[in-house]
Every structure is written in C-alpha cells, then in structure tokens.
Structure 1
Amino acid sequence: MLPLEGILVVEHSMGLAGPFAGVRLADLGARVIRIEQAEEGSLPLISLYRNKERFLYNAACDQDTRKLNQLIAAADIYLDGPSLQALPFGGASREKWRFNHPQLIHAMITSCGGRDVEDTKAYDDLFIQALTGMPWLNGNADDPPIPFPLSTVEMFASANLVQGILAALVHRAHTRSGMLVEVSLLESAIDVQFEVLTTHLNDGGLQPQRSAVSNAHAYLAAPYGVYETSDGYLALAMGSVLELGKLLHCDALAKYKDPASWFVHRDEIKLNLTEHLKSRPASAWEKDLEAGGYWCAEVQTTQDLLQHEGFRALQHLQQIEVEDQGLFVTPHCPIKIDSTHLNSRRGILRAGEDNAAIEEEFKLI
C-alpha cells in the first residue's frame, strides 16, 4: 500500500509547479483528478499527467462549474493556481467554503503571494528569476545576468507546496480540520537564496560579487568552480588550495599559505588553475585528485549522464503510454518506498476521457 492511498486530490492548475506537485502526490498513491479546459501540454509537460485522471471542464458553462464544485467538495485536497481566472466555489468566498467543508485542504500557488500588484501579471519562471536577482549569481563577474536554464523557481515552489500539503494532512489526522496551504513563486525564489540574502543582510548590504574566473558561488573561496581541461571540464569543490597544488603539481599555488587568501585572491588562484589544468584531460586530473581524497568531478553532458554506470545502476527511467502517441521515456519519482521505485501505474489518456466515469461515480449534475 502506498502512503497516500485513499486521498483524493482535485488539481486545477497551470504551468509546471501545480502539476508537478500533483504528480508527486499521485506517485505517492493519491488519486489525482486533473481539471483541464482544453487538450494541454507538450511532451515534457504531459509527463506530469501520469497517474492522473483528466476531467475536461468548460469555465463558461454553469453546469460544468456546478460539477467542479461538487468534485472539490468530495476531495481531501484542492490544488489550484497560479491562475488569472476566477476560481470556482460557486461564487462563495474561501472563508465560506472552509466553513461548509472544514476538512478540505486547499493548496494554492500564486505568483507573488496574492497580495501584490505583480500577481495581476502573467507569471513566468524567468520573470520571477529576474525579479529576485537570481541571474546575477550565474556566470563570471564581467558576464551579463544569466538565468538558470531550468524551471528552477517552479520546481522549488512545487516542493514547498507538497511539504505544506503533507503537513496539513498530518494536522487533519489529529484535528479533523483542513487548512489553507499557500506557496508563492516569489517567496520560493527568495527562500532558495537564503545563503545570499542572509549574508547580504548581515554584512552591511554589500552586493554579492561573482568571481571573475570560473565562478560557481559568489561567497565561496577558490578553487570552487568549473575549469577547462585539454578535452573537457572539471569541477572542483571546496578544499585546501595548498593540498590541491601538491596533488596537481601546480607550484604557483604554493604561495597561498593563508586560508583567508583563498577568497581574497580567488581570481588569481583560479587563473593559475585555469592555465595549469589545460595541459591534461579531465579524466587524468580526476584520477589524481580522487587518489588524494580531493573533491572533484568531470562535467558531463546529458549523453554522458545516460551512459554513466551510476545512472544505469539507479534504473531511474520508466516508459509511459500516451493515448494516440505511443510510449515515451521519462524519469520516475526519486522517492523509494520500502526499497521500491514509484513507477507510473496508469497511462495518459486524452483530456476528457475520464469525464463520464467521474461524473457517474461522484453523481455530478
């Protein structure tokens, strides 16, 4: 039995954060009914519809709104947002809904907390990254702002929402009372920058300074960064610059005896490393450093990852069937329960194919 079996989730969300939270709950055993207003999604997004039933809904139809309200009333969890559209609830306020349905857990994602003019704008992961200064942490000191090339903020928000939902389920098990769980993309982007913001707020408000060479973290000393070798790239983590110089036979590092200099003179140190590491392949440097117990790793491509023995050992891929499109391959949930992978239990049907069965089961009128 999976941990969330018997829990009914109605997911009425757009973008990536809400659907990703919904699929994580589904992976853990919850029954998730996804509300959609049209056939949606490119292939990557459709992968988040695994283990879900898909209910097609017309927001302009009063009868469909009644059906949706009935379905939400039967749910344990209603997950919605971010959305610029009016929410259902038949025109009732959230407060009235909580009074009439005290055990419902309402999990809500907003762009900027629901209390700011920014929430009236169409949200985007890149927009939130830009708003919070995240692109200024990427690249080297002379580079323009570089955004993180993933839906970083939405993934953080999704993880936060799932944590809040699981906490609310524990609370409800003790009190028989539901909760409103709110997560915003903006606050999630701020939260993940706790290192940068805590330092900035307590060091006199100094702007974080990216290293001019091989920057990987504004507040970490050399050698932390990624370096070019004769055939690829090598990532070096935190460690003694003196010990690194010995293992690499890089005499130029011997003069940096004071650990404080590893930050103050980090660009000098990194320049020395940059020139030295170009003389041999990444694998050769990695072998020498690992033999000396120094943290390092070759920088792999996506193809390298898929061929890596560690990746193969994880057996981290699954096949899912999409109606009319056939099988596609995607990663499975990273959580194991009793040493068992949480693979997809259900293929992905077209939007609306589950309507008739859901309407009959819940007697939607």
Structure 2
Amino acid sequence: MTTTRDKPGILDGYRVLDCSIAMAGPFAAQRLGDLGADVVKVEPVTGEWQRHASAGGATGNRINVSFLSLNRNKRSLAVDLKAPAGKEVLRRLVADADVFLQNYRPGVAARLGVDYASLAAINPSLVYVSISGYGEDGPYARRPGQDLLLQAMSGAMLSTGRTDEAPRAAGQYLVDAVTASTAFEGVLAALLHRERTGEGQLVTVNMLDAITTLQMQELSVHTVGGLPQTRSAEPHAHVYIRSPYGAFRTADGYLVIAFPPLKTLGGLIGDDTLAAMDDEEHGWTHRDEIFARTAAGLLHRPTRHWLDAFEAAGIWAGPVYGYADLVDDPQIRHNGTFVTYDHPTEGRVTVPGFPYRFSAAPPRIDRGAPLTGEHTREVLAEAGLAEDEIEELFAAGTVVETS
C-alpha cells in the first residue's frame, strides 16, 4: 500500500477545515487527507476532546491511540473560537477553503458564527458539511448522537440473536463508521457539483439516516414485503435469511455458515433428517430445529476439518477471527490492508490503511496525527496574517502551538 507521496493525490490542492470531534467527522476528514487534501484540524487550545479519551485503556506517548487512528494526514491549528480574534482567524481561513466540516451540537455553529449562512457569505463556493446525530432539527435534534444509542434505535439490534436474550450491539462503532463514509461521499459529490457549476452548498448528514439507509434490504423486506422482524430461539444471525445462518462452535473453535443446501450439509454432518429437508420451505418454518441440528453436528470435528469439507462441497463457510488472526491473514497481507509508518512521538505505527484503490493517484500518509496546535503558526501565515498579528494571538492565548 502506498504510504509516501510519489504521485499527486486526487484531492491535491483542496483545503479542508475540520472542526469536528470524536469519530464520524474526523474519520471522514482523514479520508479526504488520505486522498491528498490539505486538512487543517481546527481544535480548541486545550486540544480536541478525543485526545483525552482513552480507547480500550490504550495510551500513547503524547497522542492517545484513538486520536492517532482518526487524525493522520492533518495539520493542527489550536485556536479559541469563543474569542473574537479567534473567530476572525477562522473567517480568514474560510475565505480560501474548499470544505468546512463540523459536528457541533445544534445551535453551537450559529453561536460561534460558523453556521453555513455566515461562512457562505464569506466564501460562496464553500462546501459546508454538517454532521448531526438525528438531524439538524426535529423532535430528537438535541438528543446525544452516540453510536450505541443509534444502533439500538435503528432496529438492527433486533435482527440477530435469540428471542429470550438482550439485543446485541455490533462489535465496532458501526454508526460512527457508516456516518463517516456517508459524509466522505457527500463531500466528494458536492465538490464534483462545484467543479461543474461553481456552486458551493450545504451538505447535511445525520447518524440516524446513515444507519437506517444502510439497512436497505432488511427494511424493504419489512416495508414492502410485509414480513415481521422475528428473532428465533436459537442465535440465528439474521431474521430475514433462512437457516442455518450464523456462528457455530466446533471441537476447537468457531466457524460461520451461510444458508447451505440442507441436503449437502446433512450428508456432511451425518444428519439424515436435515438432509431430507427443503431449503426454502423448512429453512424458514423449521429455523430453530435446523440451527440446533447443525450446531450438534459440528461439535465433534475441528474447524479446519469442516472448512475444508465445506469448501469441497461448495458450502459458504469461514473462520471466526480475532484481531490477532485478522492481521496475520494471508489475504490481508496480500492486500496491504494495514499500513506502517513512523510517527515523530509515537514511533512505529501500524494501522488500517485505505479502503479504496486508485491507479493514477493512490492515497498515502504524509504525516501522522498532529500534536495540539503543531501547525498553528504556519497555517496562520498561509492565511495571510502578519508576523505581529500572529504574535499578538499567541500572547493573548487565542492560539497555541505545541512542538
């Protein structure tokens, strides 16, 4: 995977002002930086909130791992936007910016004077992206847009698992991640529109819509097909897919199976009753029985035995990985899914890389996550502030710099 600048990036020459915090906004901005955009992270003089929040208890030297993972390919400008001089600094930057990204709580952008109308008056060609939890307005606009709360509200947690068990969340920040991807797509589409028309615009993205539209198939089965969302007594992996479908214990671990032909599966695991069942009829009407029979049949052999047998029979199956298994997988290594680079304070860093490939302009890592205000002075100089103006801002504490 390319990690150094040997070709111009697709977004070279574009300036992004990233005023977002936590995961969704910073993740979207990082992807823009990976494609070559000059991303300036505009953060408080004390540093963005995520700098001070641990990730699974992991810490770094001067940058914790959660911030490190979401803020590569950015420069940091640390400025007090509550101070009049700080607001003026941001307005100077907006004049030459291409994208402005924020996920403030409702009303905060307007109070700071950085709402779309205010900034579009300075730069009509600006692509302004606002990320919220539930929408810009409406009855839930002021609710906290936290990942688990949105997973629960989305309906997804009741599409898997047992009827008598508590709903289970995804094992990652799923809503944050899909919202980041949605915002990233929105920026690219709005920039393409601007290239064609010269117009900037407001792009609004919210977490509730992002996770809802991700379930296009499932919700259509409910809204168009009229089928209820009914969990099973067994831990079936999806309410709208026939049995068996899910994770199963073997003699030495786990594997997953996706809707195999019941006759073939029954023959392999030695279950004549299963082999005599019809895929489409019994796969729905006898979902729990099929799951239980499959589970019992897989217990007496190790995972590798079953994976080899299923592959030979054309059954869709696969291993259940932990992270240690994932990073050592031969396909992951072949793809270059992870990238390794040297960070000035955190040392050798290995992290997930880029989810896309471009032959003419590959993504790359030009810099790791910045220290708080590490690039304040150079960003202000680029915005046209004179040296004496910059020194006044430092003296007043409106901006800070860390080296």
Change (3 A) 1:156 1:90: closer
Q: Distance in 1 between matches of 2:110 and 2:163?
A: 48
Q: What letter corresponds to residue 87 of structure 1 in structure 2?
A: A
Q: 2:39 maps to what in 1?
A: 32
Residue of structure 1 in register with 2:102 after alignment: 80
Specify the alignment match of 2:336 in structure 1: 315
The residue that corresponds to 2:176 in the other structure is 154
Say which of 6, 9, 13 aligns to 1:2: 9
1:67-216 superposed matches below 5 A: 67-83=89-105, 86-87=108-109, 91=113, 94-95=116-117, 97-204=119-226, 207-216=228-237
> Is 1:50 matched up with 2:72?
yes
State the match for 1:255 in structure 2: 276
Question: Aligned partners of 1:349, 1:258: CA distance in 2, in Å?
Answer: 55
2:23 to 7, 16, 20: 16
Q: Given residue 179 of structure 1, which amino acid in structure 2 is its aligned partner?
A: Q
SS at the partner of 1:21?
Answer: helix
2:300 to 256, 279, 282: 279
Match of 2:61 in 1: none
Distance 1:161 1:349, change over 3 A: closer
Per mean C-alpha deviation after superposition, the further-off stretch among 338-347 and 151-160 is 338-347
2:261 matched residue in structure 1: 240
1:148 CA displacement: 1.3
Q: Secondary structure at the match of 1:119?
A: coil
Distance 1:325 1:93, change over 3 A: closer
Task: Say whether the 8 Å CA contact 1:69–1:88 is kept in structure 2.
Answer: no
Q: Secondary structure at the match of 1:336?
A: coil
2:11 partner amino acid? L
SS at match of 1:225: strand
Once the two structures are TM-superposed, the CA of residue 156 in structure 1 deviates from its matched residue by: 0.7
CA distance in 2, matches of 1:144, 1:60: 44
Is the CA contact 1:215–1:225 (under 8 Å) kept in the aligned structure 2?
Answer: yes
Could you tell me the TM-score, scaled by structure 2's length? 0.85
Q: CA deviation at 1:252?
A: 2.5
Of 81-90 and 166-175, the range deviating more from structure 2: 81-90
* 2:100 and 2:127 in contact (8 A); partners too: yes
> Counterparts of 2:279 and 2:74 in 1: how far apart (Å)?
58
State the alpha-carbon separation in 1 of the partners of residues 338 and 273 from structure 2. 45
Deviations 1:24-77 (A, max 9, x none): 111011110011112242312322211100110113211011101211221001
Q: 1:124-181: per-residue Cα shift (whole Å, max 9, x none)? A: 1111112223322232222111111211001111111111111111111111111111
Deviation at 1:270, TM superposition (A): 1.0
- Comparing 23-32 with 341-350, which one deviates more in the overlay? 341-350
For residue 82 of structure 2, what is the aligned residue in structure 1? 60
Query: Structure 1: which amino acid aligns with 2:116?
Result: R
CA deviations over 1:294-352 (Å, ceiling 9, x no partner): 11112122111222222222232223444433332211112222188633111333111
Q: Compared with structure 1, are the counterparts of its residues 75 and 309 closer, same or farther at alpha carbon in structure 2 (3 Å cutoff)?
A: same
Contact 2:35/2:362, CA 8 A, preserved across alignment: no
Larger CA deviation: 131-140 vs 17-26: 131-140
- In structure 2, relative to structure 1, the CA distance for the partners of 1:63 and 1:258 (3 Å cut) is closer
Alpha-carbon spacing, 1:44–1:200, altered in 2? closer, same or farther (3 Å): same
Maintained 8 Å contact 1:12/1:35? yes
CA contact (8 A) 1:248 1:288 kept: no
Q: Given residue 327 of structure 1, which amino acid in structure 2 is its aligned partner? A: R
In 1, the alpha carbon distance for the partners of 2:251 and 2:360 equals 41
Q: Which residue is equivalent to 1:335? A: 356
Aligned to 1:24, the other structure's residue is in SS state: helix
Q: Does structure 2 retain, via aligned residues, the 8 Å contact 1:103–1:172?
A: yes
CA distance in 2, matches of 1:211, 1:67: 58
CA contact (8 A) 1:136 1:144 kept: no
Displacement of 1:224 in angstroms is 1.5
Residues 334, 341 of structure 1: 8 Å contact kept: no
1-side partners of 2:67 and 2:214: how far apart? 24
How well do the aligned residues superpose, as a CA RMSD in angstroms? 2.1
Q: In the alignment, what sits opposite 2:291?
A: 270
- 1:267 deviates by 0.9
- Stretches of structure 1 lacking an aligned partner (at least 5 in a row): none
Whole-angstrom distance in 2 between the partners of 1:36 and 1:220 = 46
Q: Look up the equivalent residue of 1:12 and give its one-letter code.
A: C
Mapped contact 2:91–2:122 kept (Cα < 8 A):
no
Question: How many pairs are equivalent?
Answer: 364
Aligned-pair CA distance for 1:198 = 1.6
CA 1:111–1:27 in structure 2 vs 1: closer, same or farther (change >3 Å)? Answer: same
Residue 109 of structure 2 aligns to a residue whose secondary structure is coil
User: Once the 2 structures are TM-superposed, how far is the Cα of residue 84 of structure 1 from its aligned partner?
Assistant: 5.0
> Which runs of structure 1 show a deviation greater than 4 angstroms over 4 or more consecutive aligned residues?
none
Q: How does 1:343-358 map to 2 (within 5 A)?
A: 343-358=364-379
CA offsets 1:105-136 (integer angstroms, 9 cap, x no match): 00110111111242223321111112223322
CA distance in 1 between partners of 2:102 and 2:114 (Å): 16
